[in-house]
Amino acid sequence: MKATLWGTRGSLARSGPETLRYGGDTSSVEVRGSDDSLIVIDAGSGILRLGENIGDPPSRIDLLLSHLHMDHIQGLGFFTPLYAPDIEVHIWGPVSATQDLRSRLTRYLSPPLFPVRLRDLASVEIHDLQPGVLELGAITVTAEIVTHPGHTMGLRLEDEAGVLTYISDHEPALGVTDFPRSAEWTSGAALAEGANVLIHDAQYTDEEYEERVGWGHSSFKHAVAFAELVGAKKMVTFHHDPSHSDDFLDLVTGSLRSDSVEIVGGTVGAEFVVGS
């Protein structure tokens, strides 16, 4: 299994010379299975370049939406395989008690917000994703609700080589004094347990977090503490705040220390082979 980061920014895309290395596009990650199957996680603005760089188009793509905040779906209508009749695209997103996923996505993919209607895309199938296990080719996906406003799924992708966990928007420290406590009572811990690669929310400095408790995100230190708690081997910082420049992220990421976890700054285009 191999993961490539095409969109790493959180909340709002931020283009410009100050975000060239970490990337200005919002969340989108390509995952290739050992059988070359293609899973795309999230449809932020990074999905445009992902779609342009797919290479030989596969007959099927599974697109997993962690949740429906705009920074995770705003690129959806620009994912060119949606318009290719010979490519089956299966879109999976968190189930809701009020409306099915098609109805919720149609609120964005219909006029006046978008010129194309979701129902006009013939080769797209929409699935409400329940918490639990889903087999996609050689990859077993486990989805669970994590601490973030609205219905938000963390994802654990596992094959014979190892585990990739994606929790892009996550505030496991919410309401916890002396974070972290036991893994058993920590949001997302089972999803990330022993992960070879953990892609995790690391949006704020300590000072920024103090002002934004309850907004649904982690500080850099919370991300490291979470990775240590679950025994992850490598933690990739993700969902970079729009106000954080490349130089700033280098400085902060370089200052993070862990005895047990390798900490890597999530730069756009970075590739991670899971299990090697």
Contact footprint for Zn ion (CB under 5 A): 10, 69, 71, 169
- CA–CA separation, 195 and 238 (whole Å): 16
- CA–CA separation, 21 and 31 (whole Å): 20
Specify the residue, 137 or 242, whose C-beta has the smaller distance to Zn ion. 242
Q: Are the C-beta atoms of residues 25 and 8 closer than 8 Å to each other? A: yes
Shortest approach of Zn ion to residue 166 CB, angstroms? 12
Q: 116-121, long-range: CB within 8 Å, 24+ apart, which pairs? A: 116/77, 121/82, 121/83, 121/89
Could you write out the DSSP letters of every residue in 128-181?
A: EEPSEEEEETTEEEEEEE-SSSSS-EEEEEEETTEEEEEE-S--TTTT-TTS--
Relative to beta strand 38-41, strand 60-64 is parallel
Shortest approach of Zn ion to residue 238 CB, angstroms? 9
Specify the residue, 147 or 196, whose C-beta has the smaller distance to Zn ion. 147
Specify the residue, 87 or 249, whose C-beta has the smaller distance to Zn ion. 249
Q: Are the C-beta atoms of residues 252 and 220 closer than 8 Å to each other? A: yes
Shortest approach of Zn ion to residue 103 CB, angstroms? 19
Token pair, residue 110, equals: 């219909």
Specify the residue, 14 or 69, whose C-beta has the smaller distance to Zn ion. 69
**Which residue has the CB atom at the shortest distance from Zn ion?**
69
Rg (CA), the chain: 18
Shortest approach of Zn ion to residue 216 CB, angstroms? 6
At residue 13, what is the residue type? Answer: A
Shortest approach of Zn ion to residue 11 CB, angstroms? 6
Residues 6+ apart with CB under 8 A from 181: none
Specify the residue, 69 or 104, whose C-beta has the smaller distance to Zn ion. 69
Shortest approach of Zn ion to residue 10 CB, angstroms? 5
Shortest approach of Zn ion to residue 178 CB, angstroms? 26
Specify the residue, 175 or 254, whose C-beta has the smaller distance to Zn ion. 175
Length in residues, the chain: 276
